Amino acid sequence: MALPVRDQMKYWGVAAAVFLAVLWLLGDVILPFVLGMAVAYMLDPVADKLESWGFSRIAATVVITLVAAVLFVLIALLVIPTLINQTTDLVNIAPELINNLQNFLTEKFPTLLDEGSQLRQTLVKIGETIQSKGGELLSGALASAMSLFNVVMLLVLVPVITFYLLMDWDRMVAKIDGLLPRDHAPVIRRLASDIDSTLASFIRGQGTVCLILGTFYAAGLMLVGLKFGLVAGAVAGALTFIPYVGAIVGGLLSIGLALFQFWGEWQWIAAVVAIFAIGQFVEGNILTPNLVGSSIGLHPVWLIFALSAFGTLFGFVGMLIAVPVAAALGVVARFGIDRYQDSRLYRGLSADEEPETEDV
């Protein structure tokens, strides 16, 4: 005899509460394991592809690990120092940019920036705040990141965990499948497949879009000679994870910097605008349809809420698991809605009654 639904809900509710409690208590302790699992999940299709070409699972895992190590070293040596330097310089030059804006507004709209006007005082305060707090914020963020991703976790623990998870991924999935309750195994498999499809579309697809667009924006802005182009491109690429936000924030930042640097040289300002216009065209017509798909089931508002809520509750680890949890909840919610619409509660008693036919 199957376990009553009420008892099943009680047990699964307790399991969910224990999971959240462990997540909250362990916090940063499980961070390398969460990171390793996320990286292994993203690389599993690559390992499967290599296996289809004749590689063994361990050989495929070794090849992926070596390639990832080389890419990481290149990025660490070539990109990260430049990115940090440009970000620091941007913070330091912020007061000068504010003064240039103030001079421009004074020239074009002299009545707005009279001595003692509210707008003038606001601009001065913004510049001083950015200069005084920006460097402190940057150094604090870097110090926090280094304490969070210490040398052992970054260089040893996460790659080792990723290696073993990637090598045993298929066996772990099969093992978990064998532990599913038999009565509900088909439904759970279907839900898990839907969740995997959503995550694959969003994390793998959208992550690839972010990387491609970030590289394109950074390279394009640096080619036109825009100072801090690498920072602006990195910001635009990273925020592309949330639809439209990356293009808006990165575009406004880049165009604002271009106005200060290229004022009077309108062709370069137009070039900056064209870079983001091309990026948006390529994203909307080529990258997103092919890499992400037309419907991934994660609404931007739901995504932002999940990132905010889990980040507040569980810190950085919460932000890492926010997208998978949001995807899972979305799939479960759609499944529940479908079941509800097929139930008598939604359709009513009239759904069981056949319509009467009139004799002609």
d(CA 302, CA 308): 10
pLDDT value of residue 235: 84
- Written as tens digits, the pLDDT of the chain (360 aa) is 466 767 777 877 888 888 878 777 776 677 778 888 888 888 888 999 999 998 999 999 999 999 988 888 887 777 767 767 776 766 666 666 666 666 666 665 555 555 556 656 666 666 666 555 555 555 554 454 445 455 556 667 888 888 999 999 989 989 988 888 887 888 888 888 888 888 877 777 878 888 899 999 989 998 988 888 888 888 888 888 776 778 888 888 888 888 777 877 888 889 999 999 998 888 888 887 777 765 556 677 777 788 788 878 877 777 777 878 888 888 888 888 888 888 887 887 665 555 555 454
pLDDT value of residue 360: 43
Residue 143's Cβ-count burial label (10 Å; 0-12, 13-18, 19+) is: exposed
State how far Cα 340 lies from the chain centre.
32
pLDDT value of residue 152: 58
Residue 106's Cβ-count burial label (10 Å; 0-12, 13-18, 19+) is: middle
What secondary structure, in 3-state letters, does the chain show? CCCCHHHHHHHHHHHHHHHHHHHHHHHHHHHHHHHHHHHHHHHHHHHHHHHHCCCCHHHHHHHHHHHHHHHHHHHHHHCHHHHHHHHHHHHHHHHHHHHHHHHHHHHHCCCCCCCCCHHHHHHHHHHHHHHHHHHHHHHHHHHHHHHHCCHHHHHHHHHHHHHHHHHCHHHHHHHHHHCCCCCCHHHHHHHHHHHHHHHHHHHHHHHHHHHHHHHHHHHHHHHCCCCCHHHHHHHHHHHCCCCCHHHHHHHHHHHHHHHHHCCCCHHHHHHHHHHHHHHHHHHHHHHHHHHHCCCCCCCHHHHHHHHHHHHHHHHHHHHHHHHHHHHHHHHHHHHHHHHHHCCHHHHCHHHHCCCCCCCC
pLDDT value of residue 324: 81
d(CA 5, CA 339): 15
Residue linked to tokens 């293009």: 247
State how far Cα 177 lies from the chain centre.
28
pLDDT value of residue 53: 92
Per domain, the residue ranges of the chain are: 22-170, 181-296
